Structures are given as structure tokens and as C-alpha cells.
Amino acid sequence: MLKKRIQKLLSLFPGDAVLITSPKNRYYFSGFTGTEASLVLTNDAYYIFTDSRYHIQAKNEAKGFTLIDTAKTSAADFIREEGYRLVGFEEDTVSVEKFRTLSQKVPDAEWEGVSPLISGIRKIKDETEVAAITRAAEIADRAFSELLPQIVPGKTEQELALTLEFTMRKMGASGLSFDTIFASGVRSAMPHGVASDKKIEYGDFVTVDFGCVFHGYCSDMTRTVVVGKANEKQKEIYDIVLSAQTAALAAIRPGAVCKDIDAIARGIITDAGYGANFGHGLGHSLGLDIHELPSFSPRCEETLAAGMLMTDEPGIYIEGFGGVRIEDLVLVTEDGCQILSHTTKELIEL
């Protein structure tokens, strides 16, 4: 499976070798989860360079790779000794300082950025990736259903967020996709209101936007609930966001243009009079990173293809009142899409 990813990259890059140093891409191409290593990918062989702390791990995880001890030979030394002329590197993560060092150590090589090629390959998720993300989404669903009865007046956002995070870890997640957004009452008008020491109050909207990591892959989901009975204004806003969210879902299929999906949801919110209260894009791709390309934004001209994984997350935010966001994780399939988030989207009144 990983060999296919490497072959895809090498088929798109007409050079002698590609140097991979970023943790996410290193994992993507080799399966190595340690924190220190470089890969050199060539048409003849794949090499992993790391120090003695990671030798056993590299042998176990990076199947099909030749292990080279960095105490003896660094990746840059190897590239110079092999006489590679055109070498790919990740220009989006290699620092200027590291690039200077590389250029000095390998003065005869020409370095060419391959980051757009890699992100292009990573856009389409293979079976292993879909399985990991599906599991991450399941854990999030189950942890959220365990959390719901605990959202009661008097608890703080922080303690509830911690409970949610602890539950996901107990269920097998290795970490969080991002800092949990847990915004109640007037704070729910902040699209990225991370958990604070504010106490939950009766009548609050509570927006929870969260995700966990499983086998390196992120999930992402948002639900907004009401503590107690929803008032008319809360119901009105919730219903508009839900219509926008489901209308966009219905249009997600291969061949659809990203900005058109955004426009469907945005049109519904704008027609209802809340266009100015939906400031962010409708969604984004994700995988090893929580934000990948393409995105459902008014400017994204990209076309959807089967195997892309997207979020669909419209919102309405009213300062001084509160806000609603509803987000599902969606896999683009051959004939439409499959929703990976299974928590109900009917308004939950706790």
C-alpha cells in the first residue's frame, strides 16, 4: 500500500531522488511513527536515515526500507555520495536554515520543491486511510454520546472538554485533532472558542467542535446542543444551519466544484438573512493534518473526486446571543458521498 504512494510520487517527479523530512509525510510514505528520521526515495530503493534510538522501530515500521545509521551517514551525505543531481524536497516545511545546510552539503544537486505533488497525492485517501478516519469518527461519536448527559448547569466548559478528551483516549485515540472547541452561551458566537472556565448555564447553546487521532488520522465533528428548552430564536437559527448543512451534503459528489458546494449552503443562510453571520468557509479536507486541500470556500475552483474526505460545517454566529455550527465528516464516493459522522443532527435539548 505505501509502496504505491511512493511510486505515485516518483512517477510525477522526474528527478533522481526525493528527500522526505516532515513527520506527516514520513509516516505517509514509510509508516515510521518516530520523531526523528529522513527518507530518501529513489526508483531503485527506499532508505530511512535515523539514529540508534529508533533503529528497532524503523525496522519494524518502515517495511521495504533500507535502514542507515545517521551516526555514520546522513541523508545529505548519502545524496552527495550517490551523485544525485535533481532532488525533490518539501519546500513547505524545510526551514530556510535547513535548506542552506542541505545546499552546502550537496553543492552539485539541484533542489526542487515537491510539496504540491505530495499534497495532491494525499488528497485521495486509500483504503487504509479511510479505515483509520472511519474509526476516529466512530470514537468521536461514541465519546460525544457519553458526554451529553454530563452537560449540565454548573459544570465548566474546560472540565467537560477534558471528559470528552479522556473518553476518546480511553477508546483508543492517540490524541486530539486540535484543541477542543467548547463554547457555551454568548461564547458560542465565537467560531473557534476553545474551552474556558465559563460554567454551563440553563438555556445555553453549547457548540462542541472536536476530533481525535487514530493511526495518525484526524476526525472532525461539530454539534450544537441546548441546555434545557430551546427558545424560538435558537430553533430558528438551528434550523437554518441544518438546512444549509444538509443541502450541501446532498450536492457532494465527484465532479462537483468546491466553491459551488460552499455557495449552496451560503445561499440558504444568506436568503434567511444571516449571510453576514457566516464568515468562514463551509469546510475543508483533512487526513493526517486537520486542514488539507481542497476546501469548500467561495474561492476554491477544485473539483471533487472519489476518495476525498471533506467536512461540511456551516454556522451562524450572533455576537451577544450565541451561535450554531453543525459539522459532519464526509467521504466522496463514486456516486455521491458517505457521511462518517453518525451523531444525530436533530436539535438536542438536554
Question: For binding to Mn ion (CB under 5 A), which residues are involved?
Answer: 220, 311
Kindly state the smallest distance separating residue 325's Cβ from Mn ion, in Å: 9
Residue closer to Mn ion (CB basis): 50 or 311 = 311
Residue whose CB is less far from Mn ion, 234 or 311: 311
In the complex, the smallest distance separating the C-beta of residue 214 from Mn ion, rounded to whole angstroms, is 16
**Measured distance CA(188)–CA(182) in Å, rounded:** 8
Instruction: Report the 10 Å Cβ neighbour count for 340.
Output: 22
Q: How far is the CB of 207 from Mn ion (least distance, A)?
A: 12
Cα–Cα distances in Å, from 198 out to 64, 228, 320, 338?
A: 52, 17, 15, 36
Residue 170's alpha-carbon distances to 15, 165, 288, in angstroms, are 45, 9, 21
Q: Is 329 helix (H, G, I), strand (E, B) or coil?
A: strand
Q: Which is nearer to Mn ion, 70 or 177 (CB)?
A: 177
Q: Which is nearer to Mn ion, 37 or 218 (CB)?
A: 218
Closest distance to Mn ion from the beta carbon of 311 (Å): 4
DSSP state of 256: -
CB of 189 to Mn ion, least distance (A): 18
If the CB atoms of residues 15 and 323 are measured against Mn ion, the closer one turns out to be 323
Residue 121 makes CB contacts below 8 A (sequence gap 6+) with 5, 8, 9, 12
Cβ count near 179 (within 10 Å) = 13
